[in-house]
């Protein structure tokens, strides 16, 4: 089954404690990205990757890091989480936006609470 898998689904952590949210896709997609979803603000892109070792900032990258060492994985790293990073996070993947099928597939989400 084609899917994007995020882990964990729920996470409560304390300010300053480094954490990683994993994302893996099994569709051989080149393009992967991370979004956060907040009430009243909608989905906003954090970082994206067009291929292995190619990453770039989205609209709200402050406080986050990413890496793309393998095509299927795109972890999101919070080096020193703060309460304003409490949010619902989604990983998405697609074949890219150069043409053809461009629809993005989303993971189930990670609800992060930073206290």
Instruction: Give how far the C-alpha of residue 48 lies from the chain's centroid of Cα atoms, to the nearest Å.
Output: 8
Minimal distance, residue 110 CB to another protein, in Å: 10
Q: CA–CA separation, 89 vs 110, rounded Å?
A: 5
User: Shortest gap between Cβ of 76 and another protein (angstroms)?
Assistant: 14
Listed in sequence order, the residues at least 6 apart from 75 whose beta carbon sits closer than 8 Å to its beta carbon are 20, 21, 22, 23, 66, 67
- Residues near another protein (CB under 8 A) are 4, 31, 33, 35, 40-45, 48, 50, 56, 58-59, 90, 92, 97, 102-109
For residues 95 and 104, what is the distance between their CA atoms, to the nearest angstrom? 8
Give 59 or 79: the residue with its C-beta nearer to another protein. Answer: 59
Rounded least distance, CB 24 to another protein, Å: 14
CB of 97 to another protein, least distance (A): 6
Nearer to another protein, 15 or 51 (CB): 51
β-pairing, 110-114 vs 87-94, is: antiparallel
């Amino acid at each position: 089954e084609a899917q994007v898998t995020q882990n964990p689904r729920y996470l409560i952590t304390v300010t300053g404690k480094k954490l990683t949210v994993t994302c893996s896709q099994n569709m051989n997609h080149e393009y992967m990205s991370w979004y956060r979803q907040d009430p009243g603000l909608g989905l906003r892109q954090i970082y994206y990757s067009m291929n292995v070792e190619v990453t770039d900032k989205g609209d709200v990258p402050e406080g986050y890091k990413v890496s793309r060492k393998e095509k299927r994985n795109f972890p999101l790293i919070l080096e020193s989480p703060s309460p304003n990073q409490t949010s619902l996070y989604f990983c998405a993947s697609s074949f890219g936006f150069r043409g053809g099928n461009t629809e993005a597939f989303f993971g189930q989400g990670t609800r992060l609470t930073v206290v």
